[in-house]
Amino acid sequence: MSCVAIGTMFSLAIFLEPMAIDTQWSRAGISSAMTLNFLVMGLGGFAWGALSDRFGARIVVAIGAVLLGLALVVASRAGSLLTFQISYGVLVGLAASAFFAPMIALTTAWFDTNRGLAVSLVSAGMGVAPMTISPFARWLISAYEWRTAMFDIGIMAWVLLLPAVLLVRQPPKPAVAGGASAPVAEGTGMSVAQALRSPQFIVLGLTFFACCAAHSGPIFHMVSYAMLCGVAPMAAVTIYSVEGLAGLGGRLLYGVLADRLGVKPVLIAGLVIQAIVIAAYLSVSQLDQFYVLAVIFGATYGGVMPLYAVLAREYFGQRILGTVFGAATMLSSLGMALGPLAGGMVFDAYASYHWLFIGSALIGLGAAGIAIAFPPLPRRQLQLA
């Protein structure tokens, strides 16, 4: 479900060039639809997360599934840039936000052991998306044209998501675990307001924001950047797909490492690697070089993303996790909103993406610096007297 929901939204990167050529809309104007996606996704994630805490995840993802297909069908028929920005930027973002926070929160409730791996496996759907939805979109655009391709993807979203909704189930009531050194959520007794004002949430939200602000621009504009460097269009899409495949492996790797070494050190290491790789894109121009960096970049940003949910679960417990993680997702979406628009503006101004990669690398290092301030995870103490 996350593959289809997030994959359809991110497929706008594949539509960017053919849409600009066909409609004469600016790249910044088209890219701003993705910026709207993330802004709306942030607000929607908070609202959907709160609703899932109260009513369960199934009804939330059912509404999201209906809305996603409808939004793509309407966007495919847009006659103006404003209509496209509203239908794709607002409605698709609202629909996609119905999946991430509720489904991840649901996953953390199902698993007490190996929670990092479990969340990584579920979030791997986002890593699969560039290997499936994006090449499919490219094939449809080549065979027909962008409007038909977007319409068909909207219908496909309905066909795949609506039956899958029936498989979503709430977990059984959690059992009380013993053990003197097992992690225990410090915020299990917190209200939502207390949790959102806590130092743990502030650090979590700022790190999530900066992490996403760092990689969103390079991800969204990677296909266009590769084509600008002389890579053929279909080959450029395969770079996007390699990132997705690497992200699938990275989620598994980082999930296992987090369970064994701790979430915080693994997250910090991943953020540092991400910043270095983003800067390295300034020196590549050949397809094989893009592939090498795509493997490292995809594995890293894909691997660190699920770790925020694991941290939120450990800090705040399950009772309010949908709402709290939805709020963190809102901040991350604001970060994600910066990259596509900034990249489009940079290209329109300089006909180059170099300043995008420089700025993204610096923000990535800032994310690693903020993550160092994470408080240690609380431990259960059996003897207090």
Could you read off the pLDDT of 91-135 as tens digits, one per residue?
998 998 888 778 888 888 888 777 778 887 887 777 677 677 878
Tokens of 101: 């926070």
The single residue listed with the structure tokens 């800067």 is: 279
Q: Which residues in the chain show pLDDT less than 50?
A: 176-186, 380-385
- Residue 53 amino acid letter: D
Give 236's contacts (C-beta < 8 A, 6+ positions apart).
222, 223, 224, 226, 227
Quote the DSSP letter at residue 198: S
pLDDT tens-digit series, residues 207-226: 999 999 999 888 888 888 88
Contact between residue 88 and residue 166 where contact means Cβ atoms under 8 Å apart: no
Q: Which of 8, 73, 57 is nearest to 37 (CA)?
A: 8
With H, G, I as helix, E, B as strand and everything else as coil, classify residue 379.
strand
Tokens of 231: 């890579």
Residue 280, pLDDT score: 92
Q: What is the pLDDT of residue 16?
A: 82
Angle at the Cα of 335 from the Cα atoms of 25 and 310, rounded to 5 degrees: 135
Residue 358: CB atoms within 10 A of its CB come to 15
Other Cβ atoms less than 10 A from the Cβ of 188: the count is 13
Q: What is the pLDDT of residue 30?
A: 85
Domain boundaries, the chain: 2-167+185-371
Q: What CATH number should be reported for the domain whose range is 2-167+185-371?
A: 1.20.1250.20
- For 175: left if phi > 0, alpha if psi spans -120 to 50, otherwise beta; the answer is beta
Please report the pLDDT score of residue 221 as a whole number. 85
Task: Name the maximum alpha-carbon separation found in the chain.
Answer: 73
> Which of 124, 16, 2, 144 has its CA nearest to residue 61?
2
- pLDDT given for residue 184 in this prediction: 46
| Alpha-carbon distances of 280 from 239, 241, 321, 335, 361, rounded to whole Å | 15, 19, 37, 21, 9
Q: Is 236 exposed, middle or buried (0-12, 13-18, 19+ CB in 10 A)?
A: buried
The Cβ of residue 292 has, within 10 Å, a number of other Cβ atoms equal to 14
